[in-house]
Homo-oligomer: A and B are copies of this chain.
Amino acid sequence: MKISSERLKKYEGMKRDFSEEEYINLQPIQRGGVLTEEARRALIEFGDGYSVCDWCPPKTARLDMIDDPPIHQFYADLAEFLGMDLARIVTRCREAKFIAFKMLGKAGDYAIIDSTAHYSSYISAELADLRVKEVPNTGAPEYRIDPELYASKIEEVKKETGRLPAALLLTHVDYLYGNLNDAKAVGKIAEEYKVPFILNCAYSAGIMPIDGKEVGADVITSSGHKSWAACAPTGILALRNSLGEKVLAKPKIEGDLTKRKFVSKELGLLGCTVAGAPLVTLMASFPEVVRRVERWGEELEKIRFLVKEMERIEGVRQIGMRPKMHTLTHLETDPFFKASETHKRKGYFLYDELRARKIVGIQPGLTKHFKLNTYGLTWDQVKYVKDAFLEIASKYGMKVN
């Protein structure tokens, strides 16, 4: 059907409302995905649809076999960087979880997941026809996951079904509180019971050091656009060799008339995955990612500083585990809520005040509690953010100690 040129105008010259250069962006899920300069250059070079496929080897015709650009080598380097044996780039972290669940489980099996897991962990289990059993958390204010409870959940599943669960999934760092969970303890339980252990590193791998071997992970999933300075959509699926055959199983289907078979492909991946800009930005940013995880200690110092300063505002409290072991942070901010009640812009006053100071990324309208992330900000920027919040607090008569 024809679409009028009038209606097409809105797609011309689309602009982002603010730029990372001009504003300080505290958006909790965006900090680790800001592109490096190298990634920006690669975007232009490899933007065209199938630009990485120029040298696809005809016999295998598979993305991970391409040497130019060095995709094949990248998969190996990436696996090693994560302390794993095999790596694949998939379209999203949730797809990596879906593939792991689907290939490791049978319809009706259980997956045991922590109760601070992201929604995508639940629904990727459902799409793989699995059921879930949740490991509880300690509730307010820490929301801590006790790793030992994975063992009792395995027992529960055994008792209920007579079988082991298909997999254990632990969210390494959760999206709500930025808690760093004890992967090694869950890894031990997984090993003891011989249940595959999926560690979801969407918020950790790519910004902080991870050694999959050391924590006993059988599968690591991660998100390129969340934590590896890559374009969306990119997911990482890294595996132990022992699971390679199962998770990366070849298709078995055969054409009933043509007898066509597709044995060079990988079923769960549906063949080739992210052949384009997101993959190339992931590769171009990789050298910086390898370097930046070494600076994680300083990132923690910055967020702990900001939390300490924010808590000088009476009634503001960081929730989740203390001290912060990750830059994604959840704050209870009751005094801001009180200020919003009499403001004509209601909860949006905080957004307005921050925006006027060239700070964005706190969800517009929220004042009772909100999340922020300082990852990759300079000390000067962190101090500027601190000053802005304290200034706003004073302006609205909050008590600052």
Contacts and interface: CB of A to CB of B under 8 A. Distances in A.
Given A40-B47, A290-B2, A233 B233 contact: yes
Interface string A84-109: 00000001101100100010000100
Contact of A5 (B39, B284, B287): B287
Contact of A232 (B7, B274, B281): B274
Interface string A331-364: 0000000000000000000000000000010010
B225 A275 contact: yes
A248 interface: no
A49 interface: yes
A394 interface: no
A43 interface: yes
B1 A260 contact: no
Interface stretch (A127-135, A295-303, A309-317, A383-391): A127-135
A65 interface: no
Interface string A1-40: 1110101111111111110100000010110111100111
A146 interface: no
A193 interface: no
Given A29-B50, A80-B3, A276 B231 contact: yes
A1 B122 contact: no
Given A49-B231, A255-B122, A267-B123, A11 B278 contact: no
Contact of A50 (B225, B257, B260, B363): B225
Contact of A290 (B3, B15, B35, B74): B3
A256 B157 CA distance: 13
A49 B224 CA distance: 8
Contact of A30 (B53, B98, B363): B53
A258 B8 contact: no
A365 B58 CA distance: 10
A253 interface: yes
B123 A253 contact: yes
Given A122-B262, A127-B102, A253-B126, A48 B30 contact: yes
30 contacts: A5-B287, A14-B45, A14-B280, A15-B45, A27-B54, A29-B53, A30-B51, A34-B49, A40-B47, A43-B43, A43-B47, A49-B226, A49-B230, A50-B225, A92-B270, A94-B270, A95-B270, A102-B127, A115-B255, A122-B260, A123-B253, A126-B253, A132-B253, A231-B277, A232-B275, A232-B276, A232-B279, A233-B273, A276-B278, A277-B281
